[in-house]
Structure 1
């Protein structure tokens, strides 16, 4: 393996592997994320990168975790083994972080209010592309930039949006690696059971709530000039995100038990 590798080369976001480290641009709230990563390292949590400092170019340095990630993650969760393993990994993280009460002097992405008693620090972007996979099993979560205080259900609902998924049939087959339109209700139930939820009642409303929360966060960050959110706003991507929320509202029957069922 070469000593240097470009992992992501996008405007305003260049991510490079250098040896066994990853160099990433800092965000205004990065010190809060670093506090979280230090906490996870301190308790021996094995499924997150280690924060190693700031390099001479002003980039954060974290440990490199070998495996498949990015676009490869979509196919991993089509397999029900990967779907359930992802849910279990999320539960392991939530259990690990329940006792964490950070100083978070720089706040979090799109959130300045202090952490409430019934909140923990959610990953905030727990999608299959942000996991490192060994076969059908995720071994670590990456890209903690959007960690923020929220109830655990926020991470659950965020993940479900992408793995149930809350997308139309064409998107599922053309872009998300499904060989045919998925049984969304079954997949939602499998994820919830693997995470440890006792019921799926209210989960669709929770997905809608997190979709709206993430959309509002993106708009706040865009208004502050943060990237890539500012580009999302100028190119109409945030309007498409709003349309997805409407799709969820219109098609909620695909995810909920049939009346009398």
Structure 2
């Protein structure tokens, strides 16, 4: 692999102080983290059960980076457009359900490490992606074909990922942000979108969902603060740059506008 790599250019996919992600040919190279082996075990399980929308583990390169298969399509900032229309929103929710179902019988390896700290699966838990948003889904048109960036995977109740995703795709954001940044041509019908997502995921009711989203926003603020205080990146940088104040502003908006979702 080393000789072949030397003949191919690296295309930078993410270039952050704490992490550079590059593409070489049909592979993605990422820095190894303490939880990398646990995530690799999860990805190998997904491959074994035939889940098609996750990268495949290809080992490590001569620089010590993990090597994953590259999934072709749009992601990152380009992913937001995928969930504006109902067709894409439905497909996004079904992808999350299919992923959760594929992890139901996964047994984490002994000594499993997760980015957010020790987690022991409880009855009914799956392995949540932990950062399931449109930016971490690979899109081909309005069809989601892959899930990327597995750093925050951890055992948790399905509702954790559902509530996290709904924060961004209902979305729990004001009209100006929806139209300026999230590709909506007009203010969204948030209640309808929440119901559409939950139905596509397979939930029989939306009872308690709004509370779960708001609780999840508070949990995320607490997690960012805890990781930042421990010196983890990018959370330490986020804290220094005032990102927590932005999260707290969004949480306050959700609490005062919950009537838009119920």
TM (normalized to structure 2)? 0.94
CA offsets 1:239-258 (integer angstroms, 9 cap, x no match): 211221121111100100xx
Q: What is aligned with 1:229?
A: 235
Confirm whether residue 25 of structure 1 aligns to residue 3 of structure 2: no
Matched, 1:189 2:202: no
What residue ranges of structure 1 are gaps of 5+ in the alignment?
Answer: 257-261
Equivalences for residues 207-226 of structure 1 within 5 A: 207-226=213-232
Q: Secondary structure at the match of 2:199?
A: helix
Query: 1:220-259 maps to which residues of 2 (within 5 A)?
Result: 220-256=226-262
Q: Which residue of 1 aligns with 2:84?
A: 78
Contact in 2 for aligned 1:69/1:129 (Cα 8 Å): yes
Deviation at 1:223, TM superposition (A): 1.9
Please list the CA deviations of residues 181-208 of structure 1 after superposition, one character each: whole Å capped at 9, or x if unmatched.
Answer: 1110010011011111101111000101
Q: Distance in 2 between the 1:41 and 1:146 partners?
A: 19
Q: Could you tell me how far 1:27 is from its partner in structure 2?
A: 2.0
In structure 1, C-alpha distance between the alignment counterparts of 2:205 and 2:126, rounded to whole Å = 21
Note the C-alpha offset of 1:104: 5.5
> How far apart, in 2, do the equivalents of 1:41 and 1:105 lie?
22
Q: Give the match for residue 105 of structure 2.
A: 99
What secondary structure sits across from 1:96 in the alignment? helix
C-alpha contact 1:16 1:24 (8 A) present in aligned 2: yes
1:111 aligns with 2:117: yes
Q: Is the 8 A contact 1:110 1:220 kept in 2?
A: no
The unaligned stretches of length 5 or more in structure 2 are: 1-7
Q: Does 1:51 align with 2:57?
A: yes
In structure 1, distance between residues paired with 2:234 and 2:217: 18
Q: Give the SS at the match of 1:48.
A: coil
User: What is the SS of the residue equivalent to 2:214?
Assistant: helix
Q: CA deviation at 1:171?
A: 0.4
- 1:259 matched to which residue of 2? none
Query: Does the CA contact (< 8 Å) of 1:115 and 1:150 recur in 2?
Result: yes
Give SS of 1:62's match: strand
Partner-residue secondary structure (3-state), 1:71: helix
* Residue of structure 1 in register with 2:172 after alignment: 166
Shift of 1:75: 1.0
- Say if 1:74 and 1:104 are closer, same or farther in 2 by CA, change over 3 A: farther
1:66-95: per-residue Cα shift (whole Å, max 9, x none)? 111111111111111110100000010011
Residue of structure 1 in register with 2:44 after alignment:
38
Q: Alpha carbon RMSD of aligned pairs, Å?
A: 1.3
Matches of 1:239 and 1:56 in 2, distance apart? 41
CA distance in 1, matches of 2:169, 2:215: 17
Q: Report the TM-score when normalising by structure 1.
A: 0.94
